[in-house]
Structure 1
Amino acid sequence: MTAALIHGIILAFGLILPLGAQNVFVFNQGASQPRFRGAVPVIITASLCDASLILLAVLGVSVIVLTVPILQTVIFSAGILFLLYMGWSIWKSDPASLSQKEAAMPTKKQILFAMSVSLLNPHAILDTIGVIGTSSLSYEGNEKIIFTASCILVSCLWFIGLAVAGRIVGNFDTEGKLLKTINKISAIMIWCVAIYLGIQLYNG
């Protein structure tokens, strides 16, 4: 059981550490919200989405995505559109007025964006299925439960940590200069992911 726990923790960290669109969005919300509680919706949404993908991978349900070509095309296309829109929204945002309530992204928009970068990210889905789903085959019974739970726990704690880090940056960057730069870089990164997905879709 200890081996399953350690395996799950290390594996989850390895998959979630790279600075992708999902991590960038959670960090930005932690930084741009006037209060930390304003970023709670994005933390919960991202955590639930990741937990769902992990559970589906372990249960083997999400393998259907890999066997139905039209589903892959739909997921890639929707993911590209959402990433392009998200990049544009982040690029246009003005963090200089963090004290104003309207500067923060509304809860509904947070949830929509968090779901898009979590569930409409083909790489996240394929990584979850290919790595976590495949690795879970090594365990049965309680060991599989521990392995799955450790992956989900790491994911939740990581998103909380990202939002806290963003909040710390937002607190000392009262004029929003650093956040504006971070937003520009984040938008470019997100657009690069969208372009990369577009190339993959075209070549596929």
Structure 2
Amino acid sequence: MSSMTTVYPTFFTGFVMSGALIMAIGAQNLFVLRQGLKREHVGPIVLFCGCTDALLIAAGVGGVGALLGAMPQLTMALTVGGAFFLIWYGCKAFQRMTAPDAMTITTHGSITLGRAVGTAAAFTLLNPHVYLDTVLLMGAAGSTHAPAVRPIFVAGAATASITWFAALGYGARVLTPLFARPVAWKALDAVVGVVMLTLAATLIARVLV
């Protein structure tokens, strides 16, 4: 009984912490939402994002966070690379928004599976905030638990991550009637562009300070 009273709270702690961090509006979430609206490669993208989060959290709990903290050059490289990628993707979103041809769910300009997963990987691995949330914050929280139950903490966090991305990707189809209108796609691309460029500006400011 005592082991169960330890396992459940540990799993719940990992689940709640991961869920609270991952639900914030960001580049990765907007990309998953857009692919969900297009109903394009949703499964592989959800699986990739969820599994990557799980691996990063496991690495943080395993002590990689302390190693990254001692390598500021790597953090700097990720920050600069992430800023340039966000600027590029934000400009692409504004370009789609101003394109004269109407965008609808049936004419959304499909991309290959490789490109879709590659873009998801860029949003995930080139974003320093991902490492702050998963490796450092979640890693520090997980390391406060006894070694025997740390895998339970990681399992709870991974469950929250996969559940969120699945809900975002597959739940997006509920918005299908709204996005049957081209103006809705233009509004979404406007939001995507603003968020991407704002995040890029935040990263650049961090480098210059």
Asked whether the equivalents of residues 58 and 132 of structure 1 are also in contact (C-alpha less than 8 Å), the reply is yes
Equivalent of residue 74 in structure 2, options 51, 71, 76: 71
Task: Tell me, yes or no, if structure 1 residue 200 matches structure 2 residue 206.
Answer: yes
Q: Deviations over 1:118-148 (max 9, x none)?
A: 1111112012233211111222344211110
Asked whether the equivalents of residues 170 and 176 of structure 1 are also in contact (C-alpha less than 8 Å), the reply is no
1:90: how far off?
2.5
Asked whether the equivalents of residues 42 and 110 of structure 1 are also in contact (C-alpha less than 8 Å), the reply is yes
Given the two structures, how large is their TM-score scaled by the length of structure 1?
A: 0.89
List gaps (5 residues or longer) in structure 2: 1-6
Bigger radius of gyration: 2
1:115: how far off?
0.9
1:167: how far off?
2.1
69-78 or 105-114, which deviates more: 105-114
Query: Matches of 2:95 and 2:40 in 1, distance apart?
Result: 23
1:37: how far off?
5.4
* 1:187 paired residue number: 193
* 1:55 paired residue number: 58
Query: Matches of 1:73 and 1:115 in 2, distance apart?
Result: 18
Q: Deviations over 1:65-116 (max 9, x none)?
A: 221121111111111111111212223236714313x612322221121111
Matched residue SS, 1:195? helix
1:185: how far off?
0.8
* 2:105 paired residue number: 98
Q: Deviations over 1:12-52 (max 9, x none)?
A: 11111111111111111111x2xx35322221221122122
Equivalent of residue 85 in structure 1, options 85, 88, 106: 88
* 1:125 paired residue number: 131
* 1:169 paired residue number: 175
* 2:153 paired residue number: 147
Equivalent of residue 119 in structure 2, options 113, 118, 130: 113
Query: Matches of 2:54 and 2:8 in 1, distance apart?
Result: 21
User: Root-mean-square deviation (CA), in Å?
Assistant: 1.8
List gaps (5 residues or longer) in structure 1: none
Asked whether the equivalents of residues 90 and 184 of structure 1 are also in contact (C-alpha less than 8 Å), the reply is yes
Matched residue SS, 1:139? coil
Query: Matches of 2:201 and 2:23 in 1, distance apart?
Result: 21
One-letter amino acid matched to 1:48? C
Asked whether the equivalents of residues 65 and 136 of structure 2 are also in contact (C-alpha less than 8 Å), the reply is no
Query: Matches of 2:49 and 2:167 in 1, distance apart?
Result: 13
Matched residue SS, 2:196? helix
Asked whether the equivalents of residues 179 and 185 of structure 2 are also in contact (C-alpha less than 8 Å), the reply is yes
